[in-house]
Structure 1
């Protein structure tokens, strides 16, 4: 059902108002007409709104049509306004149209009223459509401008330099501040100039043309590593991603290049290669050092009547500061040593070799106490200069007497497990080598019977499993039921779990009295 036309009619003659309604009805216009004759009624109707058209007499006793027209155009500028008057001179008609009236119809020619109303409504509808279109266009332009601004901001915020050129490689667009940061140029320095200005040499400029820009047809973009030149003349190595620029029809319209300064990356890569080379060389040196250190340890177990000897050393790094050693001077006499240099790694390993060599030099013709005194005199200066010290347990095993004479230089990790399972500690105990010059070391002696086991170990055994609160008693219990010194060494090493990473060097030496 067609919506009825809502009309406000300013008219003081009821018969004229009725005649207007009849004319509109005869023209097929379904209307709801509100007739007013006074200014306050007209103003109240405008305030309420809701009308589609206003008809007005030009001259009323207390109110006039031109004033009504001005009120309407001030409040409702888009609503159609048609004068329907008995008298309307040519000048008044022209003035009314200039003031915003849509049309005018004389009461003596109401046959024009229907077409005039139809035309006024059509024009109002077209104006409304035009204003909506203009509004939509304005919004579209605003959106386009916003997107263009966003694109410009994005384009200029990219840290790589983006250069857009035409087919002859003349620069059309370039982003700041990347251009300034990388090349030192301002936009006006390069726009409308050949992009050759950015290259360090002509060969690199020609290379990009040959591989991408001058090639016929569609060519995939390529990443090239070339040399470029800054405004101040400095040459740097960079990457250029070169590609052709196509329009929406797939036609090449120029070129696009993305430049990136990779000089710092190249320096970092070179430094990394040097570092890797040095690391490899160090690994080789450490491997050789580990082989040499392993060869310094005894290669075979000693053969001494009535006793079974075994040992094992597991460095925390490729090389370590722990060591064990023995020197057999006769079938029934052997010197045993277990040492632990403070720290681990290469520095500890170097000191370990020095300590071992010093002991070798003084052991054969001296008692344990005298040997340690001489070794301490030889090593003190080196240990003091290196700000290090060595805990050391050194002793002489006499298989005929079944005795073990020893000196403990601050080591302490030693006990004897008797055949009946009891555990004895060994004393006395002195200071480590390198702590105090001129130390007088006291010598102790312990007798060994069949089934007794002498155990020496480093603090790495304790450090490997601190949660177990390992002590001599617990370690001694691990030896029960083991039939050889080697089995006992393996049992104690297994107790540590050999953690990874290993906190410290782990060394165990076992002497078992079998007769």
Structure 2
């Protein structure tokens, strides 16, 4: 039986009998820590002061017996196994003692049985302790599950294998606008049909909803789930967007379906607002009368509009392969000299982290045509964004300025010629 340590309480008024009990258990391999008492008062006091692995009690003691000892044990430490050892106990009395909670009894003329009885008692106590722990853990889990179920921000429904709603929480009532009494006992597909938008309800029947839903539920394996989003019109005449998550679960060997419903109305409205804002932005971006180019923080061009493509003489596909400071750009100053990369308005705005305005430069297109532009570049204060660059075509202005300059020079030459003639 091994070298099992055993904290033992012996209730025995005959010292040799107590010593015999200790000897048999020691011979069986138990390492004993023995507390010996011989009356009710000492017995009760020992149970109050200490804890024990097992109690072995004589049946008859002066003014006290095993029934009284067992009763005190069950009130004080019901988890501790109780064994009666006696030379006078009858079979009927022994059976009655066991019915009241004793593990077993051993006759004093058969002491060899004691170690085996003790082992069985300890094994049973260990098994009962494990069972109690499992029950406590299960009870705690059920309490926690109930708390999660009732206080979840998601609506939760429990559906049996026939499709009937058997349990739901408060959040489901808020989402659907239906009271718990109307939900529980209803078929899941009846509720689905009731919550359909009017346009959808006209195009399908409740039987179609039932067939689709029930087939999908039955087809789910234990490790599968259904996830879907859909708009509903709840009982309060509010349109809501709901994300459903459905999976099978087993409770007491019966199959159920757990449905989690999340109200995603705010998210869908935000997505719609973002979509509208994006459409507005793209429309403005593409119809803007100036050329516009956007880069990331590394200077890679990420966006450009049609006007930019036309001014730069490069397709959108080619533009997105370039960086704002690439050597492939051929830009010239107003005096006709080549502009170095570090002087580009876009490069300066990115490196100096400030707005660079009204820089005039010429772009030599692949066709060798020169287009004159006025450039403004500014940092974009968003993560992963670099600069926004706008181009205004000033080619006609530059041509007009050149014609004006030529006219002025021609007029000056005429005046000089006139003055020389008059002077002669």
TM-score, scaled relative to structure 2: 0.45
Bigger Cα Rg: 1
- Which structure is richer in relative contact order (CA contacts within 8 A, separation 6 or more)? 1
